[in-house]
Amino acid sequence: MLYPLKFHPILKKKIWGGERLAYKSKEHEESIGESWEISAVEDNISVVSNGILADNDLQELIEVYMGDLVGDHIYEKFGIEFPLLIKYIDANDDLSIQVHPDDKSVQVHPNNDYAMRVEGEYGKTEMWYIVDAEKNASLVLGFNQEIDKATYFQALHQNKLMDLLNVQKVKKGESFFIPAGLVHAIGKGCLIAEIQQTSDITYRIYDYNRKDANGNTRELHTDLATDVIDYSYQPQHRVNYTPQNNQSTRLVKCPYFTTNLLVFDRDIEKEYVHLDSFVIYMCLQGKFTITTGECEPVLVNKGETVLIPACFKNLTLYPDDITQILEIYVEE
């Protein structure tokens, strides 16, 4: 029998990682840059941590429960591969400047070497919600002017790429949409909730000429990145929204996912009768209990993520004081 599912976080130590995700580690390790909350990436399949299905992984559950778990239209399209990767990212230093390809460019491309490296993968469109940010924290989001490939190459080879990039200060509670092709980077001091397509394809284009302990620079993917970058000037990447208490507020709707923000301090009844999709809750503040009327209540604490199977169409959320969650699903 299905029920709201929690998973063991998959923790990624990074040279740029901080201490804000240490509580997710039994050993309270430092330098944890990413916590993969729900993942179907190869060799990183999430494993259930609660209830009678504990120790089963996400793919095994989709094989058994199919559309009841993920939604019929999602199962028909993706099979046993879960379509989203859900993360927290803690940046204690600036991340490299990077870009991701879209679905079309990773599966069909005239360069054979390129196609061999990425054939069969999905692209990577994502969004960020700023869970916390230090003073003067910033993001890199696209270019600060209209450019072309030649201008980009010239700046890259003259070590002047940063002159072309849009660096934007950010604060807690802001949200940003990062379509495939947008050059971007997370800056020092940001704690971010990231929702993205299931893909781990990243093309690193600039890393501030940093060297590791052995004096080596990290690999760059200049040629691959050049073919997928969107060189257009887009002045606005921040999501404009006004949160409404005790009701879901839309942040992002795209072909790959829909993400809402819900801030509530009273019981909330959620109805998903017309939604043929799983629902994910990421608890950013407070804690709450989920009841379905069919299984035991499930408590979700701050920093935890829970997957609601598609077969549950009516839920009640009981908050403990003011609670803030992201609500994520896939629409037809």
DSSP string, 83-123: SEEEEEEEBSSPPPEEE---HHHHH--S-HHHHHHHTT---
Catalytic residue among 20, 204, 250, 266: 204
User: Which residue, among 231, 202, 207, has the nearest Cα to 218 in the 3D structure?
Assistant: 207
Cβ within 8 Å of residue 271, ≥6 positions away: 313, 314
CB 72 within 8 Å of CB 78 = no
- The helix, strand and coil proportions of the chain, stated in percent and rounded to the nearest 5, come to 15, 40, 45
Distances (CA, A) of 57 to 9, 89, 279, 298, 308: 12, 23, 18, 19, 15
Q: Is 218 a catalytic residue?
A: no
How is residue 49 written in tokens?
């941590």
Query: Whole-angstrom distance between the N-terminal and C-terminal Cα of the chain?
Result: 26
> Where do we find the tokens 């005790």?
246
Active-site residues, by number, are 204
